[in-house]
Amino acid sequence: MVRFLKRSYIYLVFVFLYMPIAVLMVYSFNDSRSRGMWGGFTLRWYVELFQDRTIMSSLYSTLFIGVVSAIIATVIGTLAAIGIHNSRGIQKKLIMNVTYLPVLNPEIVTAISLMILFVFAKVRLGYLTLLLAHITFNIPYVILSVLPKLRQLNKHLYEAALDLGCTPARALWKVIIPEIMPGIITGLLLAFTLSIDDFVISFFTTGSGVSTLSITIYSMARRGINPKINALSTIMFTFVLLLLIIVNIRQAREQRKGRNGRNGQKSHFDSLRSRFSGA
Amino acid sequence: MKRSTLFPYVVWMALFIIVPMVLVLYYAFTVPTESGATWSLENFARFFEPIYLRVLWRSLRLAVISTVICLVIGYPAAMVMSGNAFEQKHVILLLFVVPMWMNFLLRTYAWLTILERNGVINVVLNSLNLPSLNILYTEGAVVLGMVYNFLPFMVLPIYSVLSKIDRGVVEAAGDLGANAFQVFAKVIFPLSLPGVVSGVTMVFMPALTTFVISRLLGGGQFTLIGNLIEQQFLVVGDWGFGSSISVVMIVLILLSMAIMSFFEGEEKDVALW
């Protein structure tokens, strides 16, 4: 009986969490503009969605910035993680603290500080500033994904490579990078997801004419309900869900190898944490 | 391995993290004059005008209310999940995480469909011959949006601490004659405090700084501190005032983190995330 009550409570919370998403999705197929009423099944909003120039161009911007910023952030972040792993004492502490700064700072503060920087340096707000901003907030998450892998690394591997005649750069490329690859990939996917999901920082660092999906959604939602947003949400949610499943399968596989019991979960949580500053 | 791989990151960090923060401080503590700018606390003085204090008060109040509601709903949920009510714990846990992966704008927007005048709730009420409710564009709607968006941040850290509590300690308390309530009040709850603290921090901070939830669900009538910052930068163009509010906000958050870590005590790394 108690067990039944306990379970019902959790199910009730799930209803609260999932009902809005379900309603959103169901109404994307509703053939009626008046939202309360069900006017029959339609794919009209999906068709209109793909014909909407603004939405499609912001979709391309989002994907472009997501891919490019994720790749650059992964390169810089991976190199940084290797450097952090090998530094000691005060230097390490200092760098780690600054790394946590964008993670802990309210997103809006990061956003306005970057906006001030760009305007101050007279960089025109647009693609370039969006890209720079996204790389900046992505790097810490790449570092936090790669560092645990480095900690598991056998430190004698690198020395062995050197003893066998590798140059340091070659040893890094041939020995270290392949070993920490799972962490790098996780970081890359995480960075991409965070980038396409970001609103606040994009909102402040973009200029006229350049808009990401989140920004377009915000300006549409401010004017009230629009079934096209529902259609878009359904697609985006399905897409992110797929990405999430891929990441989770990867982590589960890692864990089965028995090498990183906790890390999988940790990076999972770390990624989540970004969300809190989001809203 | 060399440390030189740090170089690109250090440069990047300096340019895009440190310099911008310095600029925020600079704008917060200066006022423009004809020949440039002078140091001044004028921006901060403005913040203490009644109209802005009211905004601060409203932000704090709504953030506290949301945090308390999240705690009241979230703690029991975390307890149930860490207990043995479910066989597949990790699936339940994952189900808590999945909604967080939906864009938070869309999660907030979803409530528009439900709450608005012709929305789902009112259609249901009307079909039962009950009068319509005006929930959208009230403070209640803003709080609802905050609770909805941030509830998992309360549940997950509490869950992770609760599930690590040694069952033996709980059983020992029972063996020594404590009843269920005493076991909870004297053993489980104190042990779970680090999780509660990090959950409270993780709900309170975004609730305090949000400007989207209040804009979409409050319809712009309920200016929060986040909205104020947004307006200063994007509408009014008063960077000095906007920066000073940001500084106040950072100080508030540092303060609440300090208070929290005071309660957190020694077990710091338990609830790292």
| Average pLDDT for A271-279 | 40
- Per residue in A81-127, pLDDT (tens digit) is 999 998 888 888 888 888 888 877 889 999 999 999 999 999 999 89
Name which of B4, B19, B105 to mutate to probe chain A: the one with the most chain A Cβ atoms within 10 A of its Cβ: B105
**Chain-chain contact of B118 with A36 (C-beta, under 8 angstroms):** yes
Domain limits, chain A: 1-42, 54-278
| Average pLDDT for B88-93 | 82
- C-alpha torsion A32→A38→A42→A43, nearest 10: 80
B97 pLDDT higher than 70: yes
Contacts of A204-207 spanning 24+ positions with Cβ under 8 A: A204/A108, A204/A111, A204/A112, A204/A114, A204/A115, A204/B233, A204/B234, A205/A111, A205/A114, A205/A115, A205/A118, A205/A125, A205/A129, A205/A130, A205/A132, A205/A133, A206/A125, A206/A126, A206/A129, A206/A130, A207/A124, A207/A125, A207/A126, A207/A129
- Per residue in A34-70, pLDDT (tens digit) is 656 777 888 888 999 999 898 999 999 999 999 999 9
- Per residue in A146-165, pLDDT (tens digit) is 998 898 888 888 889 889 98
- Per residue in B137-174, pLDDT (tens digit) is 889 999 999 999 999 999 999 998 998 888 888 889 98
| List of chain B residues whose C-beta atoms are within 8 Å of the C-beta of residue A116 | 20, 23-24, 27, 239, 243
Shortest alpha-carbon distance between residue A194 and chain B (Å): 10
**Chain-chain contact of A117 with B19 (C-beta, under 8 angstroms):** yes
What's the pLDDT score for residue B3?
64
**Chain-chain contact of B6 with A87 (C-beta, under 8 angstroms):** yes
Domains and CATH numbers, chain B: 1-40 (no CATH), 50-271 (1.10.3720.10)
Strand partners, B30: B39
- Per residue in A107-118, pLDDT (tens digit) is 999 999 999 999
B78 pLDDT higher than 90: yes
Q: Is B59 exposed, middle or buried (0-12, 13-18, 19+ CB in 10 A)?
A: buried
For residues A199 and B206, is the Cβ–Cβ distance under 8 A?
no
> Would you say domain A54-278 falls under CATH 2.60.40.10?
no
